[in-house]
Amino acid sequence: MMSAEHLNRLAIERAAQAPSAAATPPTTPKNLAVTVRNLGLAIQWSPVAGVDGYNLIINSDQDFSAPDVQVKVAGENSRDYFHNLGNVTVTRYVEIQSYKGGTFSDPSAPVTATSTEATSVSSAPANVNYNNVETELTHVHITTTGQTLLVLGYATITYNGAEQETDLILDEDGVDIRSIKGSTRSATGLYGHQYSVPSFTTPAAGAHTYTLTATNMTGASVCAASSIVLLAMEVPFLTSASTPPTAPSTPPPVQTSTSHPTGAERPGGYR
């Protein structure tokens, strides 16, 4: 017959060998919303009480077994995701999980977001001659969404003769917003001075016209402008308080199955 001491020791050993109960997964975040912006997505969700953070999953298709982007977000319930769209339409699928320690909630139902073409226009016309009358070199039309715009004008100015002073001007809807003055002279006519006029502006959402003009401030002599470029492009990240996402310090394990796991971090790759 086993002594009480032996029975007590056996009970302790069996308790130590018994598998521990799995931690209860936290609640899945609700109200996931994705707003399309030029150059990226604004993603928001309702906070979950008592969790350490969230696992944001972004993919180019609905198979989340190996997502394109997976980001752990701690202490926030929104994130701006920036990507270079180019002048194309792009669709992204987004899910969200909450996590507590190493335990993850079920993923939310995916939300689909399709971007429009990025608001980016550029004009590069042929050479233009100008004198002491303000002359249009080129212009662009752009429809904005109320974000900050980068407007950049560029031209190479050449004059074969005595030094001349050129005023290169950016106009927004007929109003000067930036100018640069500089001298140019080419005794041989084979080279000139390069002018670059950048400006950041935040016009109201809607259609706008930007114009690049040049004037010879020295006199009526004719100067030549070449390699003319005018670019207007929305850059919302300049006014966003959010920071670009960073990848988790430890990538999740790779899974070959295309099934969606529950109560575990999404498997997959990172970019």
Q: Rounded to whole angstroms, what are the CA distances from 173 to 139, 170, 194, 204, 208?
A: 10, 10, 25, 12, 6
Domain boundaries of the chain, sorted by first residue: 23-114, 120-237
Instruction: Please say if the pLDDT value at position 167 is more than 60.
Output: yes
Nearest to 156 by CA among 231, 219, 230, 228: 228
Band of the pLDDT at 249, cuts 50, 70, 90? very low
pLDDT of the residue at 188:
57
Tens of pLDDT, residues 148-161: 888 999 998 888 88
Residue 156, amino acid: T
Token reading at 171: 């106009």
The SS3 of residue 74 is coil
Q: Tokens 């969790």: give the residue.
A: 51
Nearest to 80 by CA among 36, 30, 145: 36
Which residues make Cβ contacts (< 8 Å) with residue 189, sequence separation at least 6?
158, 160
What architecture (CATH level 2) is domain 120-237? Sandwich (2.60)
> Residue 101 half-sphere exposure, CB side, CA atoms within 13 Å?
6
Tell if the pTM clears 0.75, that is, is over it: no
Question: Considering only 6-15, 114-123, 171-180, which range has the smallest mean pLDDT?
Answer: 6-15
Which one is the CATH code of 23-114: 3.30.70.330, 2.60.34.30, 3.20.20.70, 2.60.40.10?
2.60.40.10
Q: What would the mean pLDDT of 207-211 be, rounded to a whole number? A: 93
- Contact between 251 and 136 (Cβ < 8 Å): no
In this chain, the answer to whether the domains covering 23-114 and 120-237 adopt an identical fold is no
Which residues make Cβ contacts (< 8 Å) with residue 84, sequence separation at least 6?
39
Q: Tokens 């990538």: give the residue.
A: 251
- Contact between 32 and 108 (Cβ < 8 Å): yes
Q: What would the mean pLDDT of 108-134 be, rounded to a whole number? A: 83
